[in-house]
Every structure is written in C-alpha cells, then in structure tokens.
C-alpha cells in the first residue's frame, strides 16, 4: 500500500487553552496487522469536548493519552483487509481507532455498522455517543414532565440539539441556550424549540428570565460558567439538573468558583452527574428509537464535516470556543 499513515499525536499537555503546539502531525507506514487483527481505513473521526480531558493528566473517569501517543477518538472506518476472514473488504465498523488514517485492531472485537438508511456519520453523532448521552440525560436524569420548562445549553450542538427534541416529545416547553443569532434561529426554526436565548448577546440573564416566566423545572447542563450562573437562580423547587458537561470550563487552568449550593437545600433540588458509558444498554436502545425518528425525519440534526485529518487540531480548538455549528466530524481521507 503506497499511502502513509497520517497520525495526530499528543505532543504536550496544555495548561489552560489548547494550541497547535500541543499536537504533532506525523507520518508512518500503515501498521501491519498482527495475528487476529484487521487493517482499517478510518473514514470519519468524531471530535468531542471530552478529548480535552484526555489531553490532561488530571485524575478523571478515564486515563489520559500518553505524550507521543495517537490522540483518542471514535471513528467510522472501512475494513481494508481482514486476514481472519470475519469481515469483507469495505465493511463499515465503529470504534475508538484514533486520530489517524489507518489502524490495526483485533477483528474479534470489531462492531460492524449496517447500512440501514442513516448516513454513516450519524453513528458518531445523532445516533451514536452524543445522541445516547442526550437520551440518558433527558429520560433518566432531567425527566421533564408535560408542561414543565426544560432548558438545555449548547442547544445547537450534538448533545443539546437531541436532548431538547426528546424533551419536547415528552411534553415539556423547551428553551435552548446557544451562542449567536444564527445558532439560535436554527434551534427555534429547524429544531422547533419554543425559544432560544443567545448567551453571547447583551443582558443574557434577563433575557433568559423573560424566556422562562414560570422558572426552570429541568436543566440539561452542557456548558457551565456564565450560562450556569444565569440558570441556577431560575430553578424551581424540586428542579432536576442533569450534569452532562461544562465545556466552557475545560480550558480553564483553575476550576471556577461554584454557585451558592444553599439553593440545593432551599429549593430541594436534585443535581446528578452522569457519564454515558455507564449506561451500555442505552446505546442500542437509542439507536433503535432515535434511528426510527431520523429515518422518518422527525428528529432533526446538523453535522459540520471538516475535510482532512490534518485540520483536526484546529477544528478541535474551535469546538472548545464554540466555533462549530452542529456535530463536529472530520472526513479523514
């Protein structure tokens, strides 16, 4: 095979903002499959906020990427060759194959992706890990009831866009929070949320209050920071908060001071964090349920596809600054 294996390695651990100096673009010959392994060609790489945590050595729910190692990431790949005979050349598979063009992995553990009418990229977004996160966080933690006000931040993004649509199906009045008029228009008009408030505009906290005249019963937290500060005073008694992530704080060198937690007591709130990988059965459930909604077009989603693996570091830095518009995916080849 003439093509080299383009790989993006972790060069250094960022203290604060991620920059190009933390990545290294490297080329090597494609790996030779060892006994039991298949050679894969990555077609699409998912870029996700959790990768910022993997760049850091701070204690977390998952081990960091080693310095000099290939950056971790989920990919949709095609089988190039499988000496074990389990897969045909060209079969589509899903897995954590990393920020690289080729990988050699044990064929026995590979998960085949069937061509079922949904584009392959949806396995990384609306029907994959982010969509499943929205499903778990909304149905198991935030649990909006009919007529309640459900608020979700990063509402135009991979998780938020799906969480809001699920809450609307559960009968809630859904208010999104997103950055900029274009994203807010998409959230209102395309996703059909009742309202969307621009957190980058003037008087954000007052406009959020006006958009939630009866307070907030359930909040799906994706962002933290100034957005969280504006949401918390609006939470109603017995409100539920699904702590999914706080992307606005991932580049902070020091954790920001938290909200006044006395509100927890006064309002008898329930706050719960979750990690989607603790809910393994939800992935198949969501693919079945959400897949039906994608095929009948009642579940809307948006993807931003960046062409070229070498663009991945810049695209990832943009994700942490809110520059992506929809689920961020890299087309590898």
Ligand X SMILES: NC(=O)c1ccc[n+]([C@@H]2O[C@H](COP(=O)([O-])OP(=O)(O)OC[C@H]3O[C@@H](n4cnc5c(N)ncnc54)[C@H](OP(=O)(O)O)[C@@H]3O)[C@@H](O)[C@H]2O)c1
Binding mask 32-61 for ligand X (x = CB under 6 A): ----------------xxx-----------
Which range binds ligand X by CB under 6 A, 9-17, 63-71, 93-101, 175-183? Answer: 175-183
Which range binds ligand X by CB under 6 A, 26-34, 115-123, 260-268, 272-280? Answer: 272-280
Which range binds ligand X by CB under 6 A, 81-89, 189-197, 218-226, 252-260? Answer: 218-226
Instruction: Put residue 238 in one of left, alpha, beta given phi > 0 → left and psi -120 to 50 → alpha.
Output: left
**Shortest Cβ distance from residue 221 to ligand X (Å)?**
8
Nearest to 222 by CA among 134, 139, 141, 302: 134
**Shortest Cβ distance from residue 249 to ligand X (Å)?**
8
Q: Give 6 or 162: the residue with its C-beta nearer to ligand X.
A: 162
Pull the structure tokens for residue 107.
Answer: 């064929």
Interior/surface letters 5-43, b for 16+ CB within 10 angstroms, e for the rest:
bbbbbbeeebeeebeeebbbeeeeebeebeeebbbbbbb
Give the DSSP per-residue string, 7-58: EEEE-S--SSS--GGGEEEEEEPPPPPPTTEEEEEEEEEE--TTHHHHTS-S
The single residue among 41, 173, 183, 287 that binds ligand X, judged by CB under 6 A, is: 183
Q: How far apart are CA 177 and CA 197, in angstroms?
A: 5
Which range binds ligand X by CB under 6 A, 80-88, 116-124, 150-158, 232-240? Answer: 150-158
Per rule CB under 6 A, is residue 244 in the interface with ligand X? yes
Binding region for ligand X (CB under 6 A): 48-50, 130, 133, 154, 156-160, 178-179, 183, 199, 222-223, 225, 227, 244-248, 274-276, 319-322, 324, 327
């Amino acid at each position: 095979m003439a093509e080299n294996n383009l790989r993006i390695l972790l060069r250094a651990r960022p203290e604060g903002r991620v920059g190009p100096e933390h990545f290294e673009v490297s080329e090597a010959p494609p790996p030779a499959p060892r006994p039991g392994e298949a050679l894969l060609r990555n077609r699409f790489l998912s870029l996700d906020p959790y990768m910022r945590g993997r760049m850091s050595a701070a204690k977390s729910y998952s081990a960091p990427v080693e310095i000099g190692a290939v950056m971790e990431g989920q990919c949709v790949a095609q089988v190039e060759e499988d000496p074990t005979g389990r897969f045909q050349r060209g079969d589509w598979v899903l897995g954590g194959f990393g920020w690289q063009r080729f990988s050699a992995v044990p064929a026995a553990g590979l998960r085949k992706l069937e061509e079922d009418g949904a584009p392959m990229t949806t396995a990384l977004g609306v029907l994959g890990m982010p969509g499943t996160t929205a499903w778990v966080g909304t149905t198991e933690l935030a649990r909006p009831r009919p007529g309640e006000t459900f608020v979700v931040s990063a509402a135009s993004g991979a998780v938020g866009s799906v969480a809001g649509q699920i809450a609307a199906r559960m009968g809630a009045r859904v208010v999104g929070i997103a950055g900029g008029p274009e994203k807010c228009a998409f959230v209102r008009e395309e996703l059909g949320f009742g309202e969307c408030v621009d957190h980058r505009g003037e008087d954000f906290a007052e406009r959020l209050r006006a958009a939630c005249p009866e307070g907030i019963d359930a909040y799906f937290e994706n962002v933290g920071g100034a957005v969280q500060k504006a949401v918390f005073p609006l939470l109603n008694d017995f409100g539920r908060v699904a702590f999914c992530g706080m992307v606005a704080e991932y580049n902070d060198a020091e954790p920001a001071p938290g909200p006044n937690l006395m509100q927890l007591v006064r309002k008898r709130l329930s706050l719960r964090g979750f990690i989607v990988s603790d809910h393994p059965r939800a992935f198949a459930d969501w693919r079945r349920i959400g897949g039906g909604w994608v095929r009948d077009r009642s579940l809307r989603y948006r993807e931003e596809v960046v062409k070229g693996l070498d663009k991945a570091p810049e695209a990832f830095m943009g994700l942490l600054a809110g520059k992506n518009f929809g689920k961020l995916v890299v087309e590898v080849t």
